[in-house]
Chains A and B, each alone.
With several copies, the nearest count.
Chain A
Amino acid sequence: MALYTAHLPQWKKDEITTIKRLSSEYKLVGLVDMYGIPARQVQDIRRNLRGKAELIMTRNTLIEHAFGEIGGSITDLSSHLSGHSALIFTNENPFKLYSMLEKTKTKMAARPGETAPEDIVVSKGPTSFRPGPIVGELQQAGIPAAIEAGKVTIRETKTVVKAGQEINKKLADALAKLDIKPMDVGLILQAAFYEGSIYESDVLAIDETAFYNSIITAATHAFNLSVNAAYPTRDTASALLTKAVREARGVGVEAAVTSSDIIDAVLGKAQAQAMALQNVVG
């Protein structure tokens, strides 16, 4: 594609100038997928990002044009453009931006034809609806509705659609009426240009739970090593003492050392043994 700024209308030139300016002002230039996000949600997300990131929606051709004029490795970002890409600018690093965007995600009602992101379950119990055609609509969508005590009630908890399956129109309407919002909506970071490198979404996704658990594991390793190697630290001195006493008690009881500190445990062990043998002899 030939890039002749001179032949572009003024508004396009202005947009390209803006993209170039923001690209130099911010440390990170990213592409986010806006697919399926209603305008209202976009407003909310913009508000949530205020002061942290700037979101610019423009045509892909203009983005490519601007990157081309900047030159260098940022042009590689163009290969990640999709039909619904928008630009995001921030001074945060790509990992922080990714998790920031994850946190701005909200739940939304499903539209017909969308894929269930997880098993969608309708719970047993009364609804707020009065008896009427709604019962038939719910039933046709596969939801076990009935009228009980003058109220529309779900008779049993049911998985109405499995993760990965399509949500048909009847079900989408029924779920919307029941105020069930199964869809995650939010900006998805497709790729980011930061400090000279491109970060793709797969390296940016961090499992927060797994990471938190790895901290616990690391701390456990240190605790275990300190105690097992008997290298006392402020954090483990008490545990070491406890371990030493446990060992001493264990040895004392095993050897039936009659010391006043452990005589109750020794008696208890003798009694337990007698009871065990009693069970055998009947």
Chain B
Amino acid sequence: MEYVYAALLLHKAGKEINESSVQAVLSAAGIAVNESRVKALVASLDGVDIEDAISKAAAAPVAVAAAPV
């Protein structure tokens, strides 16, 4: 999931999400970066409306609801 957080971080910072930017963020966190996972992430995000995905999460209630039945 850390790869996805890196993408969100870059998005929030207004930076392009590409292989080198994702790699830079992960490396800064001290993570041994798996290049293929970075590629897969960047490829899968092509054409995705990130703002839209974020807004869907924003609708979530934040405190925990009653226990699942």
Do the two chains touch directly in the complex (Cβ atoms below 8 Å apart)?
yes
Q: Provide the bound-state CA to CA distance between A230 and B4, in Å.
A: 8
- Which residue of the partner chain B has the closest CB to A220? B57
What are the residues of chain B within 8 A of A252 when measuring CB–CB?
1, 4, 62
What are the residues of chain B within 8 A of A220 when measuring CB–CB?
54, 57, 69
B4 and A233 contact, CB distance less than 8 A: yes
What are the residues of chain A within 8 A of B54 when measuring CB–CB?
215-216, 219-222, 224-225, 228, 241-242, 245, 247, 250-251, 267-268, 271, 273, 276-277
How near does chain A come to B68, taking the closest CB pair, in angstroms? 9
Is B50's beta carbon under 8 Å from chain A?
Answer: yes
B44 and A211 contact, CB distance less than 8 A: yes
- If A258-B37, A268-B60 touch, whether A282 touches B44 (CB-CB below 8 Å) is yes
- Which residue of the partner chain B has the closest CB to A233? B1
Most chain A CB within a 10 A radius of its CB, from B8, B39, B43, B45: B45
- If A231-B44, A232-B41, A247-B57 touch, whether A265 touches B50 (CB-CB below 8 Å) is no
- If A95-B44, A229-B48 touch, whether A218 touches B56 (CB-CB below 8 Å) is no
Interface string of A138-153 (1 = CB under 8 A from B): 0000000000000000
B44 and A224 contact, CB distance less than 8 A: no
Is B24's beta carbon under 8 Å from chain A?
Answer: no
Is A40's beta carbon under 8 Å from chain B?
Answer: no
Number of interface residues of B (CB under 8 A): 32
Q: Provide the bound-state CA to CA distance between A3 and B45, in Å.
A: 43
Interface string of B19-51 (1 = CB under 8 A from A): 000000000000000001101111111111110
- Which residue of the partner chain A has the closest CB to B52? A238
Interface string of A95-110 (1 = CB under 8 A from B): 1101100000000000
How near does chain A come to B27, taking the closest CB pair, in angstroms? 18
Q: Provide the bound-state CA to CA distance between A262 and B45, in Å.
A: 10
A249 and B45 contact, CB distance less than 8 A: no
What are the residues of chain B within 8 A of A269 when measuring CB–CB?
1, 57, 60, 62-63
What are the residues of chain B within 8 A of A208 when measuring CB–CB?
44
What are the residues of chain A within 8 A of B45 when measuring CB–CB?
229, 231-232, 237, 251, 255, 257-258, 263, 281
Q: Provide the bound-state CA to CA distance between A96 and B39, in Å.
A: 9
A276 and B40 contact, CB distance less than 8 A: no
What are the residues of chain B within 8 A of A280 when measuring CB–CB?
44, 48, 53
What are 27 A-B residue pairs whose CB atoms fall within 8 Å in the complex?
A93-B42, A95-B42, A95-B44, A206-B40, A211-B48, A216-B53, A217-B1, A219-B56, A222-B4, A225-B7, A225-B48, A229-B45, A231-B3, A235-B1, A244-B1, A249-B4, A250-B57, A251-B48, A251-B57, A256-B3, A257-B3, A258-B44, A262-B4, A267-B4, A267-B57, A268-B54, A272-B57
